[in-house]
Structure 1
Amino acid sequence: MPNLDWRRLLGKSNPTGYPHTLLRTKQSASQAEFFDPALKQYGRAFRLGEPRLRDLAERTRWYAARQQVMEHLLGIVSTSSWQKSLVLRGSVLLKTWLGESAREPGDLDWVVLPSTLKMDDPRVDLYDMILKRVAKQPEWGDITMDATGARLDDIWTYEKAPGRRLVFPWQTADGLAGTVQLDFVFGEKIPSEPVPFTYQTQEGQALELLAASPAQSLAWKLLWLHTDMYPQGKDLYDAVLLAEAFPLDAELLEATLNTTPHQEPFTLASIEAWDIDWLSFLSEYPNLGEDAKTWKAEKAWQERLAQALRPTFDQAGQ
């Protein structure tokens, strides 16, 4: 087996200015670059968006292959010693809860437990574990993952809880190719208890994981929209869908907001004042519904969010 020590994959500098985890594949010519605030320590803090595949059958196969890769990685976590120390959050959960209206998941986001565990603690062997498991079984079906081509980057080095991003390239037998990223953040306090989550794979396998609840997921989205230097359109989109589908307790929202110091009070008026990068979001997700594509659509979505959160603010006496 090749030397897969994760420290060899973690880049300290890059003469191109790009993150080491921006891996180009055969489909990269049709993938636009998008600013990623998690990587802003780089001069060119970009990640690649979805490929623009004109052929519907090819596009369907590509998304199905990426989902298989993600499910393989979820399976690795679910059967590892880290299963009870990794809390899943993000687009995979939203797709399960919200169905067709949710964004197509393209990465795996994890919060590492306990929150006192440091990123450079020598006990953190999860990168080695995942790399070795992928190297041991690089092929299944017509898909091959390349553990030796994986790359690591530090993320959120200037704000939020710090972490690391692990990216794997993959390829199908008929030449489709892409990447899947796993983000792990450390020191993130979770104000509510993680919940058991069963993920059903395309092949019918049940994967048992820990996950953030819908309410906690919504509270995090609101925290990021309110406090991030670069609030993202995807977080507004997700927050609206979550707020319209699930109730949010005012105490949980307050506890989540209080995990970040030095912030402005969060009110209904705050929502309308957010400056959201909606155009980049639409460019990255061109297949969204028409209600996301109208002129100044972000303002309508901000109004929808404020309306959906009125019960939460009423509970808080605002």
Structure 2
Amino acid sequence: MSAHRAALDHVLTLVAESPFAEWLVLRGSMTMPAWVGDAARPPGDLDWMARPPALTPLDDLHPYPYLDRLAPVQQWPEAVHGAARNEIWEFEEFDTGGRPAHLPPEGLNWIPAAGLDSFDEELWDYEFTNLLSRNPRTLDGIQFDTESIDMRQDWDYADYEPGGENGRLRLELPWQSPTGEEGTVQVDLSFGEPMPDAPVCTAVPRAGGLPPLGLWTASAQLSLAWKLHWLAADQQTHGVSAMKDVYDAVLLAELDGMCLRPRLRRLALGADHSLLQSPSAPPHQQPSPRSPAPARQPGSLDPALAPRFAAPALPFTRLLEPSEIRRWRVSGTLPGVDDPASWLSRLAVAVTGLL
């Protein structure tokens, strides 16, 4: 097992054993071994989407206040009784004047609705630093330098993220092995990005014979839809796609039983967030009164109604046609992959039955 993989597994394990595991959804190369086994390429980084935590809304019409502690509604017995005499009282004997408050479970706090969806990059920097500070060393002796964690916000994702402007954070976690080898674990966090498919609980494999970790991840179907979307975005924006992404897309597309629901097909073809919610159609167009309606065969669709049922034109429809995929330009290499053209051909064949 390489030192880099051991460092990745260490951070993955820390997150899996923390409260973050309930509302971080893993995606990317770290999930590929769960879907395609040993054929997956070595993972390079950790890529998470943050989903809002499960919340129980407060009832604003409830007659009692929601407070973290009783003090704001408690009254001193001396004050209640007009300070006629000194009284011996304990904290638990404070009177609330008939206004019992709702306190959260021990160790928790009520959260105000304002700011729940806000993006606080400093908080995440602090939380990951704190997480590593408590366990900075792996069983193999790899040491993380928690004083040198680098944080960047809103790196360039070009047209990769359908769904609008989202908060993004990249953390670089430096490490050093006992032999002096140095490296970093890159952690990408995305906030507010829509998930067109529900996350699934996945047994994510670890190296070195360690048991897998149960984590929320993007489904294999959503992973493929994203891969196709990103590949087409690369071709449209830069005129070239990474071989590693082509490789991943082929392995996912060739999985037994792989299929994409309509929403995921629209995502792959470049639909924006509104089109991922429900299909849209162009406005109905009336035929011109100057030209007679063409004769139609029995059982055929009225031409006047055809525009109402036409699929919307999507940005990547042409780029993801099999004939176009075979002409894509590819950059980068992978061990054991000598002929990118054959992988593009495999992708073109697999996509034919999916989009």
- How would you bin the TM-score normalised by the shorter chain? 0.5 to 0.7
Q: Secondary structure at the match of 1:240?
A: helix
Q: 1:293 aligns with which of 323, 329, 338?
A: 338
Q: Supply the AA of the counterpart residue of 1:128.
A: Y
**Which structure's residues are more often helix, by fraction?**
1
Q: Residue 86 in 1 paired to residue 24 in 2?
A: yes
1:218 aligns with 2:224: yes
Secondary structure in 2 matching 1:215: helix
String of CA shifts for 1:201-260, please: whole Å, max 9, x gaps. 335344221001111100100111122323332211110111011412241433424246
Instruction: Give the AA of the match of 2:202.
Output: F
Unmatched 5+ stretches in structure 1: 1-60, 314-318
Task: Name the TM-score, length of structure 2 as normaliser.
Answer: 0.60
SS at match of 2:197: coil
Cα shift at 1:273: 2.7
Aligned partner of 1:128 among 102, 107, 126: 126
State the distance in 1 between where 2:183 and 2:169 align.
20
Flag the 1:306–1:253 CA change in 2: closer, same or farther, 3 A: farther
Distance 1:267 1:277, change over 3 A: closer
Q: Distance in 1 between matches of 2:52 and 2:322?
A: 32
Match of 1:104 among 42, 66, 90: 42
Distance change in 2, residues 1:72/1:269 (3 Å) = closer
Q: Which secondary structure does the structure 2 equivalent of 1:167 belong to? A: strand
Pairwise CA distance, 1:123: 9.0
Distance (Å, rounded) in 2 between the aligned partners of 1:269 and 1:121:
34
2:33 to 87, 91, 95: 95
Q: Which residue is equivalent to 2:143?
A: 144
Asked if structure 2 preserves the Cα contact closer than 8 Å seen for 1:70 and 1:180, the reply is yes
> Of 245, 253, 274, which aligns to 2:255?
245
2 CA distance for matches of 1:71 and 1:264?
38
The residue type paired with residue 271 of structure 2 is N
**CA separation of 1:233 and 1:272: change in aligned 2, threshold 3 A:** farther
The change in CA–CA distance for 1:98 and 1:119 in structure 2 (over 3 A counts) is same
- How many equivalent residue pairs? 240
Maintained 8 Å contact 2:152/2:171: yes
* Distance change in 2, residues 1:311/1:151 (3 Å): same
Q: Deviations over 1:111-164 (max 9, x none)?
A: 11149x998534983332111121122123311011111111122365435411
Q: Is the 8 A contact 2:232 2:316 kept in 1?
A: no
Q: Residue 302 of structure 1 corresponds to which residue in structure 2?
A: 344
Q: 1:83, 1:124 → 2: CA distance?
A: 19
Cα offsets for 1:155-180 (capped at 9, x unmatched): 23654354111011111111122111
Change (3 A) 1:205 1:125: farther
Residue 71 of structure 1: how far off its partner (Å): 1.4
| Secondary structure of the structure 2 residue equivalent to 1:191 | coil
Q: Counterpart of 1:189?
A: 194
CA contact (8 A) 1:107 1:182 kept: yes
Q: Structure 1 residues 124, 254: closer, same or farther in 2, change over 3 A?
A: farther
Contact preservation (8 Å) 1:165, 1:181: yes
State the secondary structure of the residue aligned to 2:247: helix
Contact 1:199 1:209 survives alignment (8 Å): yes
Distance 1:277 1:132, change over 3 A: farther
Q: Report the equivalent of 1:57.
A: none
Q: Could you tell me the TM-score, scaled by structure 1's length?
A: 0.67
Assess if the C-alpha contact under 8 Å between 1:191 and 1:255 holds in 2.
no
Q: Percent identity?
A: 30
1:90 Cα deviation from its structure 2 partner: 0.7
Counting strand residues as a fraction of each chain, which structure ranks higher?
1
What 5-or-longer segments of structure 2 have no aligned partner? 54-114, 276-312
Q: State the alpha-carbon separation in 1 of the partners of residues 265 and 134 from structure 2.
A: 45
In structure 1, how many angstroms separate the alpha carbons of the residues matched to 2:22 and 2:122? 14
**In structure 2, what residue type is equivalent to 1:258?**
A
